[in-house]
Structure 1
Amino acid sequence: MSPPTADDTVDDPVRRDFLYIATGALGATAVAAVVWPFIDSLNPAADVSALAEVEIDISDIEVGERVTVMWQSKPVFIDHRTPDQIDAARLEDVDSLPDPQSDEVRVQRPEWLIVVGVCTHLGCIPLGQRQGDPLGNWGGWFCPCHGSHYDTSGRIRRGPAPTNLIVPPYTFQSDTTVIIG
């Protein structure tokens, strides 16, 4: 038997298949190495990721007090509601509201209401010191730009806003700490 020649190895199907697979794998790796930096650039920047969650100490917020904190560059209203405000929000006929939603669905703990402080009409920031029309003062927020009124549960009561104030994702880490985001 004579040693293999160059012509014999070119026609060897096993070697040819191996070369095709190796070339394809190498090409796929090269494409992935070039494309990955572009895909990775679509991830949020470190400063944006840092704002994804905010931890708030709520121990100093007195009953009946409202505070505003920033989360993802948006104001978030934290309302430590009084028993009267909770009762007013829970005794409402939900079906009569423009955007029907019960108070129990909007809060995790009855005494704490946490909503994004941006009017759902055109993105204005409502006033949160229980202002508004004396004939329809529901004890919530009032957007003076277009006249939207919200109650003590952040639900739209009157005006052009189509939906209730948005409830952000949040969890109570303890009795004195809430994490928004």
Structure 2
Amino acid sequence: MATASETKATRRDFLYIATGAAGAVGLAGIAWPLIDQLNPDASVLALASIQFDLSPVAEGSTVTILWRGLPVFVRHRTPEEIEEARATPLADLKDPETDEDRVKEGHAEWLIMIANCTHLGCVPVGEAGAFDGWFCPCHGSVYDTSGRIRSGPAPANLVVPPYEFISDTIVQIG
């Protein structure tokens, strides 16, 4: 006949468990500040998204604002510029993308793009080049009125950052 043996918890078992639990709490108390310091500071979080008032930007003009340390073009396009950008055949583009994909629906007059050439990161000059868009003087990349690459060494269109219209005159970038 088999008998079951009982094991009683001893004082030593309790001390092992209590010591392990205290060590785990102490380790977590030390590790938390080390992990928490890896989070971005308040100045970086403040730049994560910005709101910009579009009302002072006249039609046909461009302003450059700073977002996350990057220059951003905000262009109030004329109806002629919009028409010209939409009439461009996609076959003529190095990086095919329609004008409608680069602007928000209902706000085609506003073109918002990061102002860095996609070749080497230079800042293009506005209202210049063969297509009256942007021209990068460093290596000769030419962009059209929608910020799409038309000629030169740049491999891609000017980047459109994530943005949304808060109201008819306020845009939030980021």
Deviation at 1:18, TM superposition (A): 6.1
CA distance in 1, matches of 2:93, 2:13: 69
Task: Give the 3-state SS of the residue equivalent to 2:125 in structure 1.
Answer: coil
Residue 178 (1) aligns with residue 140 (2): no
TM (normalized to structure 2)? Answer: 0.87
Match of residue 36 from structure 2: 40
CA-to-aligned-CA distance 1:100-138 (integer Å, 9 cap, x gap): 11111111021100000011111100001x112xxxx11
CA-to-aligned-CA distance 1:70-120 (integer Å, 9 cap, x gap): 111111000111111111111111233111111111110211000000111
What is the one-letter code of the residue matched to 1:48? V
CA distance in 1, matches of 2:17, 2:63: 63
Say which of 101, 108, 111 aligns to 1:110: 108
TM (normalized to structure 1)? Answer: 0.84
Match of residue 46 from structure 2: 50
Task: Give the 3-state SS of the residue equivalent to 1:29 in structure 2.
Answer: helix
CA distance in 1, matches of 2:87, 2:79: 12
CA RMSD of aligned residues (A): 1.8
- Identical aligned residues as a percent: 58
Say which of 58, 61, 66 aligns to 1:65: 61
What is the one-letter code of the residue matched to 1:54? I
* Range with greater deviation from structure 2 (28-37 or 114-123): 28-37
CA distance in 1, matches of 2:157, 2:15: 63
Instruction: Specify whether residues 23 and 100 from structure 1 end up closer, same or farther in structure 2 by C-alpha distance, changes over 3 A only.
Output: farther
Matches within 5 A, 1:7-18: 12-13=8-9
Residue 146 (1) aligns with residue 144 (2): no
Unpaired stretches in structure 1, ≥5 consecutive residues: 1-10
What is the one-letter code of the residue matched to 2:137? P
Say which of 74, 78, 85 aligns to 2:70: 74
Aligned residues between the structures: 166
Unpaired stretches in structure 2, ≥5 consecutive residues: 1-6
Say which of 141, 149, 154 aligns to 1:161: 154
Say which of 73, 84, 89 aligns to 1:88: 84
Instruction: Specify whether residues 88 and 35 from structure 1 end up closer, same or farther in structure 2 by C-alpha distance, changes over 3 A only.
Output: same
Task: Give the 3-state SS of the residue equivalent to 1:30 in structure 2.
Answer: helix
